[in-house]
Structure 1
Amino acid sequence: MQEYLFPIKIAILTFPFLAFLFTFPFAIFQYKKHGYINKFRTFILYSFLLYLLVAYYLVILPLPHVRDVKSLQSPDTKYFNLIPFKFVSNIIKETGVNIKAPSTYKYLLTERAFLQVAFNAILLTPLGIYLRYYFKKNIKQTLVITFLVSLFFEITQLTALYGIYNAPYRIFDVDDLFLNTFGGYLGYIIAPAFTFFLPNMNELDKVNPEELRVGYFRRLLAFLIDIFIVGLIPNGNDNILLDAVIYFVYFILIVYFTNGRTIGKWLTSVSVKGQQDKLRFKEVLVRYGILYFIIFGSNKYLYIIYGQYNGTDIGYGGVIIFMIQFVLNILIAIHIFLCVLKKSRFFYEKISKTRLVISRK
């Protein structure tokens, strides 16, 4: 039992890191396809991700302690089994079960050969359930996908984890392909019993995303994408003038000419909305002038200037400016906290009379 519990523990420990990496592309895909993120769909997909991680770790773990696996094996070690249904003869040979005596069948539950077969049969059973319920695959598609996943596992073993080790530490077994695929088929058949009380995936998105408000995670994701893109543009080693030009072009001119979109906003299906259908230049200028030139810009430029003095010889005037900026940042942070708490618009949105809306055009 410990050999199965160990991979599960490792999967649970590594899942948060993988989930974090998965979050951003998943969010972008959901925003582009559905216009919003459904909490139940998120739960199903993250549970699916955890299941795949557990299944993969069950196949490859525990790992050998050395790369030179071949030196630990006998010269006649076999790395594959191409004889179909060999597991049947293994069970008969290794167990004390008498086919003609049903009373002996109970001993199967304690025999390694049978438990190994049962494990391979149920390993991809959840995959069949997911494929039918969430991904809406038919029986043929489920069998093909399950077989390919099983083949991926077997190739991973045959190639010694794709060359990391100098010899396979687990064998390629044709029986595993059959048992795994059968498990996927079994999952497809029993899926209705597991999903009877779950929402119908076809009815999950009967909402109008454009009537929903733009959430703060969505705002943050669009902002991070835009900042990342702007950060890729060389700015001449913190050239203040060039920096201002880049921000003006990206966050003001582009937003104005695209009627409220940047790359980050396009990927998250949101746009800036003014008082009319067409954004006015003044609205964009005020909104992002306050946000990027007054708030972010002043902080960045003060940081550059303060860094040039290395914290010394900055003078009383510089200290006063620094303290004023610090107090303003505290006030802005309190303002953001209250806006998030009350779900109200930020001050630069109210001043510019703009807001973010969901737009999938």
Structure 2
Amino acid sequence: MVASYWETARTGFLAFVGVGLLVLVPLGLLHYWRFGRVEPRRALVLYGLLAYGLVALALIFLPFPSDVSKLCTGDQMLSTVPFQWVTDMRNNMAAYGRSGVGAMVRSSAFLQQLFNVALFVPLGVVLRKAYGRGPFAVVAIGFAISLAVEVVQYTGNLGFYPCPYRIADVDDLISNTGGALLGWMIAPVALVVPTVPDPASSAAPLGTVTVPRRLVGLVADAMVVLVIAKLVLPPDPRWALGVLVLLRVVLPAVAGGMTVGGWLAGYRIRAVDGSRANPLRLAVREILGVTGLLTYATVLSPLIDMVRLDLVVMASITLWTFVLPVFLRDQRGWHERAAGTRAVLLERDRSRLSKQVLRT
């Protein structure tokens, strides 16, 4: 019995891996569009619920019947007697001449109800710990979900099968609801489940220059460099690298943190306190960011010739420049933190944003 549950749970988890990969990008984009960043705790709870839901559905409905013609045998597929499992357990123990607590906890009827309780415990834990729901709400939600499952089972998966292949049992309804309540009771000790912050705390501050906006500026700068390199410079990539340094370090130092791409995307680079960023800060920002990565790839990598080091450098800079900032409220990468800089909106974009806020 335990082995069959484990195999079914494994099937559900594999389904989560497949479905999770399919919905990862859409959900991430939706999350980012709503909050201006991907809030880690919300993302963790969301994917945890997705994994739990798919595993639970697999345990409830799998395996599907292989021979549909054998379903409609006239057996009673609806049990409306509360705690019928207690009678079944006693009859089972009597049939085998067993007694005592040990025999009781090993009986299939007891293990089935224990499983039904355990199945809904995570739901109660998440509803209280992550979303702050009270006991009545948890009981109501657990009862509603369990009732929906029993209805689907009794109707042969909403008519997909001519007859039900799982018994719709009032004891399952009681056990599932009790499991949700038990999860609510033990939720305070569930340290792995984070509390989901409210939307105001989840969102990036108004006027934050997001990672996609900075990517647009970076791509625009790269296009300028490519055009200049194609039309003017020798074919040696180090010349293009020099133009990139001029465009990303020297020009911002002269133009108050502005690059061509930054002007197009509507932001400039400033010191953390909002003052003008000096050339040293701009240089550190670029050395630890994209310009440093391209310098390594163009100049150092051919000399060192170590593929593993190349992968480490590329992965590290990409991670702290573009990936980790997505989860942070201020959207600043580690290269910006080390340099003491941040991107700020241009006046025209701040004015437009203020007008939008007033209209809403």
Q: TM-score range by the shorter chain?
A: 0.5 to 0.7
In the TM superposition, what is the alpha-carbon distance from 1:45 to its structure 2 partner? 1.5
In the TM superposition, what is the alpha-carbon distance from 1:35 to its structure 2 partner? 2.4
Matches within 5 A, 1:1-361: 1-70=2-71, 73=73, 75=74, 77-95=75-93, 104-195=100-191, 199-202=194-197, 205=201, 208-210=204-206, 214-215=210-211, 273-274=265-266, 343=321
RMSD of the TM alignment (CA)? 3.9
* Code of the aligned partner of 1:182: G
In the TM superposition, what is the alpha-carbon distance from 1:32 to its structure 2 partner? 4.3
**Helix, strand or coil for the counterpart of 1:62?**
coil
* Code of the aligned partner of 2:79: N
Residue deviations 1:70-104 (CA, integer Å, cap 9, x gap):
35x3x3x001011111112112221259xxx9x92
**Helix, strand or coil for the counterpart of 2:164?**
coil
Residue deviations 1:330-355 (CA, integer Å, cap 9, x gap):
xxxxxx999957849xxxxxxxx9xx
In the TM superposition, what is the alpha-carbon distance from 1:213 to its structure 2 partner? 5.1
Percent same amino acid among aligned pairs? 28
* C-alpha spacing 1:109/1:163, structure 2 compared with 1 (3 Å): same
* C-alpha spacing 1:27/1:183, structure 2 compared with 1 (3 Å): same
State the distance in 2 between where 1:125 and 1:6 align. 20
| Deviant stretches of 4+, over 2 Å | 20-35, 66-71, 197-220, 272-276, 336-344
In the TM superposition, what is the alpha-carbon distance from 1:9 to its structure 2 partner? 1.4
In the TM superposition, what is the alpha-carbon distance from 1:105 to its structure 2 partner? 0.6
State the distance in 1 between where 2:145 and 2:13 align. 21
Tell whether the 8 Å contact from 1:68 to 1:167 is kept in structure 2 after alignment: no
State the distance in 2 between where 1:166 and 1:218 align. 57
TM-score (norm. length: structure 2):
0.56
* C-alpha spacing 1:213/1:60, structure 2 compared with 1 (3 Å): same
Tell whether the 8 Å contact from 2:125 to 2:183 is kept in structure 1 after alignment: yes
**Helix, strand or coil for the counterpart of 1:153?**
helix
In the TM superposition, what is the alpha-carbon distance from 1:210 to its structure 2 partner? 4.6
Residue deviations 1:238-271 (CA, integer Å, cap 9, x gap):
xxxxxxxxxxxxxxxxxxxxxxxxxxxxxxxxxx
Tell whether the 8 Å contact from 1:68 to 1:165 is kept in structure 2 after alignment: no
* Code of the aligned partner of 2:83: F
State the distance in 2 between where 1:91 and 1:217 align. 64
In the TM superposition, what is the alpha-carbon distance from 1:182 to its structure 2 partner? 0.5
5+ residue gaps, structure 1, are 221-271, 277-335, 345-352
In the TM superposition, what is the alpha-carbon distance from 1:149 to its structure 2 partner? 0.8
* C-alpha spacing 1:219/1:52, structure 2 compared with 1 (3 Å): farther
In the TM superposition, what is the alpha-carbon distance from 1:10 to its structure 2 partner? 1.0
5+ residue gaps, structure 2, are 217-263, 269-313, 323-345
In the TM superposition, what is the alpha-carbon distance from 1:203 to its structure 2 partner? 7.9
State the distance in 1 between where 2:189 and 2:317 align. 45
* Code of the aligned partner of 2:88: N
State the distance in 2 between where 1:342 and 1:214 align. 14
In the TM superposition, what is the alpha-carbon distance from 1:211 to its structure 2 partner? 6.8
Aligned length: 234
TM-score (norm. length: structure 1):
0.55
Tell whether the 8 Å contact from 1:158 to 1:170 is kept in structure 2 after alignment: yes
State the distance in 1 between where 2:214 and 2:166 align. 45
Tell whether the 8 Å contact from 2:68 to 2:161 is kept in structure 1 after alignment: yes
State the distance in 1 between where 2:127 and 2:103 align. 34
In the TM superposition, what is the alpha-carbon distance from 1:52 to its structure 2 partner? 0.8
In the TM superposition, what is the alpha-carbon distance from 1:152 to its structure 2 partner? 1.6
* Code of the aligned partner of 2:108: R
Residue deviations 1:110-141 (CA, integer Å, cap 9, x gap):
21111011111111111000111112211111
State the distance in 2 between where 1:30 and 1:37 align. 6
**Helix, strand or coil for the counterpart of 1:201?**
coil
